[in-house]
Structure 1
Amino acid sequence: AATGVGPVDAAMNAIRKAILAIEPIRLDEYHVNAITGGTDAVVEVIVKLSKGDRIVTAMGVHEDIVMASVKAMISGMNLLVANNK
């Protein structure tokens, strides 16, 4: 669990808190794009993560911005950790 400025920030802080003890992964960029219009828009979240000199870009898509953000972060972290093995 973690806190933040809002639900997205709290979710990102919880993920970073869980992984930071194992892997020194840093969130360098965070972007949100609305794919569809309206209040029920599907959003695309793109994150750029780094670990040492390695950088990856990952994406998450969902109707809920928090879930799209979590999907993007976990996808990027998996790429960094998988490439480390």
Structure 2
Amino acid sequence: MITVAAAQRPVRMRLDAGPIAQTVDRLSVEFGDQSTREGITSVVYRCVHDLAGSPLGAMPELCERLARQRLLDAADSVGNRR
């Protein structure tokens, strides 16, 4: 017989805002001619939300890659190909 321990409550971990702000800064330089800083910030925070559950240490890089791809896709959809 295999015994399975009761599920533990999920642990909420906080993501440091510093790397996220740096991501917004870098993407603002890269996409500043196509989107406002507020728009880029919104995309980045949606990516953070969508990547919830990913390893915390990988979040800044994953978030930046996903946000960059979403911004590129948005530029392509309105004809602003890079």
Shorter-normalised TM range = 0.3 to 0.5
Decide which structure has the larger Cα Rg and report it.
Answer: 2
Select the structure with the greater relative contact order (CA < 8 A; seq sep ≥ 6).
2
TM-score, length-scaled by structure 2: 0.44
Counting helix residues as a fraction of each chain, which structure ranks higher? 2
Counting strand residues as a fraction of each chain, which structure ranks higher? 1
